[in-house]
Amino acid sequence: MRLGKTEEKRDSILQAAAKVFSKKGFYQARIEDISREAGVGKGTVYEYFSSKEALFKNMLVDLNREHFETVYEGCPPMGSVVRRLEKILVLHFKFIENQRDVGRLLIESHFSLGKEIHLWLWELQLEKIKDLAKIIDAGAAQGEFRRDVDVYLAAHIVFGAVAAVSGMIIMEEIPSGKLENLARNTLALVLRGLKVDT
């Protein structure tokens, strides 16, 4: 299962890109910063990625894959959808917390990038929302969730709620130990709502 030398170098560049882009944002990050961080020459970056934008996109795709593998695959469908959601939230918050800088990029769904790349990012986010929609749909099918809700809308709402709390974790530097509780509370609110039970 060893990666070829080539694959290794490609990876180290992506790692470096994640670090530098996260810290400085797309426009402030310089290719040279990234190449130095990766310990390779500036020209080498262009051996593996055709442009700064391509590198950026690849980095995000990579990050998403890692996020997906950590959060969803590390948490397959199980009996209760609610339980699964709770587990997903915990894993997600931990992922965020483990990789502050990198996590910031995942939350920052919006960038001051050109329109084209902006749309591309929206697509990326939409996919996550659709994954969420499937889960919610499953919950409705199993009778755990109300059937009178617009699943697509609900997915957006849950996504936004989770993103906002993720931002809170990063910006307010919530300590690791409180994440499980935070996940539970967040989910509780999303599931039961604000209103007093009637």
- The binding site for a second copy (CB under 8 A) comprises 21, 23-28, 82, 104, 107-115, 118, 122, 136, 139, 143-146, 149-150, 153-154, 156-165, 167-168, 171, 182, 185-186, 188-197
Instruction: For residue 149, give the nearest of 133, 128, 162 by alpha carbon.
Output: 133
Dihedral sign, Cα of residue 12, residue 57, residue 76, residue 192: positive
User: Could you tell me how many residues make up the chain?
Assistant: 198
Pick from 14, 18, 19, 52 the residue near DNA by CB under 7 A.
Answer: 52
**Cα–Cα distance between 133 and 81 in angstroms, integer?**
12
DSSP class of residue 193 equals: -
The three-state secondary structure class of 55 is helix
Min CB(98)–a second copy separation in Å: 19
DSSP class of residue 75 equals: S
Binding region for DNA (CB under 7 A) out of 43-51, 65-73, 104-112, 113-121: 43-51
Is 41 a binder of DNA (CB under 7 A)?
yes
**Closest CB to a second copy among 65 and 184?**
184
Q: Which does 3 bind (CB under 5 to 8 A by kind): DNA, a second copy, none?
A: none
